[in-house]
A and B are shown apart, each in its own frame.
Chain A
Amino acid sequence: MPNRPLDLPDYDRPPVNEVVLGVQFGSLAALKTPHIGFLWKRWRDRYPVVSEQPPLEPAFETFPSVVGEPGILFESLIGVPFPRVWFESEDGSDLCQIQKDRLIHNWRKRENAYPHYEYVRGLLVDDLRNFGEFAQEEGLGELVFNQAEVSYINTIDLPDGRSPHAALDEVLSTWRQFSLEGEIEDTTFRARYRFKRDEVPYARLHVAVTPAVRRADGKHIIKLEMTFRGKPENDSQDAALALLDVGRGVIVRSFDKMTSPEMHQVWGRKQ
């Protein structure tokens, strides 16, 4: 497992609500629903809760691509869709999602503090090793990786309990230059940044800021979602994991740049 890069900003109490590490691979045509039962038999101790969800659409970064273009419900429209299966830990904080062409590990905030990226990455690697072995034993084929992505979903509220919807400038340092006449009510914005390897675009960072209401306590919050997705350098697992590492660095540095020094204090910025 790689150590945390020393130059990466770190916080005692980061506002992370969910971290998602996912890889996409060539579709395992031979994977059928009954296989999932055999897989759960292996995983039941680790993931005692299982459920089915609609499959995710294929997600590929291409250049160019049209902003806002709906994805393609390929799996849903052609043939019989294979479900996405959720395997959850007892407390729900760890979730492994599997479908024919994806494996995703989510860490979700429950009562526990954020255990940091290296921990979640370790669990993804465990899931991949177990699933890869299972696929081999069952003759389902090799995992040939074609895309990897890392997402951080942050939920931000103000320390004094005020709604942050009208105070985005207090949360995001990048927002301060947009103070206009009148009283701001709320704000939503999205941005995409492209990344190149040897002058060839290969990945994107998607940033979205939206006002939201937390169901649990009805409190106004700001959701800051950052996703880095791209094509690994080759089709190996190592390359897919390397892309996740790059994406994590990009997201953490971008988060630090976007957010205000005052909020950094609230979150206990360490370096």
Chain B
Amino acid sequence: MSSNAARAYRADDDFLSPATANYPNHPRFQQARTAVSEPRWRSDVLGTLESLLRMPAGWNSYGSKPMSWDAAMFGMILLNSLMKTDTPPPSVVPTAGGGLQLEWHLNKVDLEIHVTGPYEGDFWWHDHLTGEEVSGEIKSADLQALVKPMNRVGRSA
């Protein structure tokens, strides 16, 4: 949840909160605090996205679009909602339409999440142990259908 954003956009600085008075509400301070407390997967994925966002149109020689900023950003939002601290980071692959694919192929599970924009995309996963195979669309704020496969890739069966 992004309550920190909600606090930040307020315009006034007219109040001191005794319980938090020792923690200045300065962006650089927040950034530093986030940097030391954030899980490893975030810096890994952000590093990859930074490179992918620099790729020009036609990066695959077949008229591909450059990666969309909004798709990359929502990919991070989605991971932030679903990843646990010990979930292995995904492979991040650009797609020709300007989206990105987040992929895990481990623990006898294949999981692919294709993000094309905010609340837009689709997914597919296959559990090789049980034979279960599920695909679906991402078209709302409800990401519940991804919880089970995300938990599965995060642990050995």
| Interface of A toward B, CB cutoff 8 Å | 17-18, 20, 22, 26-27, 29, 54, 56-74, 76-79, 86, 95, 97, 101, 104, 106, 108, 146-147, 149, 151, 153, 155, 186, 188, 190, 192, 200-204, 206, 208, 210-216, 221, 223, 225, 227, 229-231
Q: Which residue of B lies closest to A223 (CB)?
A: B15
Assess whether B34 is in contact with A73, with CB atoms less than 8 Å apart.
yes
| A-B contacts at CB below 8 angstroms, number | 173
Q: Which residue of A lies closest to B50 (CB)?
A: A78
A residues in contact with B157, CB < 8 Å: none
Distance between A253 CB and nearest chain B CB, rounded to angstroms: 20
Given contacts A62-B141, A63-B81, A229-B2, 4 further A-B contacts (CB under 8 A): A20-B11, A66-B80, A223-B17, A231-B141
Select A201's contact among B2, B18, B19, B142, beta carbons within 8 Å: B142
Q: Which residue of A lies closest to B31 (CB)?
A: A73
Assess whether B73 is in contact with A69, with CB atoms less than 8 Å apart.
no
A residues in contact with B117, CB < 8 Å: 26
Assess whether B1 is in contact with A65, with CB atoms less than 8 Å apart.
yes
Name 13 A/B residue pairs within 8 A (Cβ), A-sorted. A26-B70, A26-B117, A59-B5, A60-B2, A64-B82, A72-B76, A106-B9, A146-B70, A192-B1, A202-B140, A206-B1, A211-B19, A213-B15
Select B14's contact among A65, A147, A151, A215, beta carbons within 8 Å: A215
Distance between B74 CB and nearest chain A CB, rounded to angstroms: 7
B interface: dominant SS: helix
- Give A241 to B149 CA distance when docked, in angstroms: 35
Select B4's contact among A54, A71, A79, A223, beta carbons within 8 Å: A71
B residues in contact with A76, CB < 8 Å: 27, 31
Assess whether A215 is in contact with B15, with CB atoms less than 8 Å apart.
yes
- Give A63 to B77 CA distance when docked, in angstroms: 11
B124 within 8 A of A: no
- Give A74 to B2 CA distance when docked, in angstroms: 13
Assess whether B37 is in contact with A70, with CB atoms less than 8 Å apart.
yes
B12 within 8 A of A: yes
Assess whether B142 is in contact with A227, with CB atoms less than 8 Å apart.
no
- Give A68 to B81 CA distance when docked, in angstroms: 11
B132 within 8 A of A: no
Most buried by A among B14, B27, B37: B14
In the complex with contacts A26-B70, A71-B5, A206-B1, A64-B143 CB distance below 8 A = yes
A residues in contact with B119, CB < 8 Å: 60, 146, 231
Interface size, chain B (Cβ < 8 Å): 50
Distance between A94 CB and nearest chain B CB, rounded to angstroms: 10
Assess whether A60 is in contact with B4, with CB atoms less than 8 Å apart.
no
Select A149's contact among B6, B15, B72, beta carbons within 8 Å: B6
Select B1's contact among A22, A155, A204, beta carbons within 8 Å: A204
Select B10's contact among A65, A66, A106, A206, beta carbons within 8 Å: A106
Assess whether A215 is in contact with B16, with CB atoms less than 8 Å apart.
yes
- Give A151 to B142 CA distance when docked, in angstroms: 23
Select B15's contact among A77, A201, A212, A229, beta carbons within 8 Å: A212
Distance between A7 CB and nearest chain B CB, rounded to angstroms: 27
B residues in contact with A69, CB < 8 Å: 1, 80
A residues in contact with B69, CB < 8 Å: 27, 29
In the complex with contacts A61-B141, A231-B140, A155-B15 CB distance below 8 A = yes
Q: Which residue of A lies closest to B8 (CB)?
A: A56
B residues in contact with A149, CB < 8 Å: 6
Assess whether A202 is in contact with B143, with CB atoms less than 8 Å apart.
no
Q: Which residue of B lies closest to A97 (CB)?
A: B9
Q: Which residue of B lies closest to A78 (CB)?
A: B50
Assess whether B19 is in contact with A200, with CB atoms less than 8 Å apart.
no
Assess whether B9 is in contact with A211, with CB atoms less than 8 Å apart.
no
Select B73's contact among A58, A65, A67, A97, beta carbons within 8 Å: A58
A residues in contact with B141, CB < 8 Å: 60-63, 200-203, 230-231
In the complex with contacts A62-B78, A149-B6, A200-B38 CB distance below 8 A = no
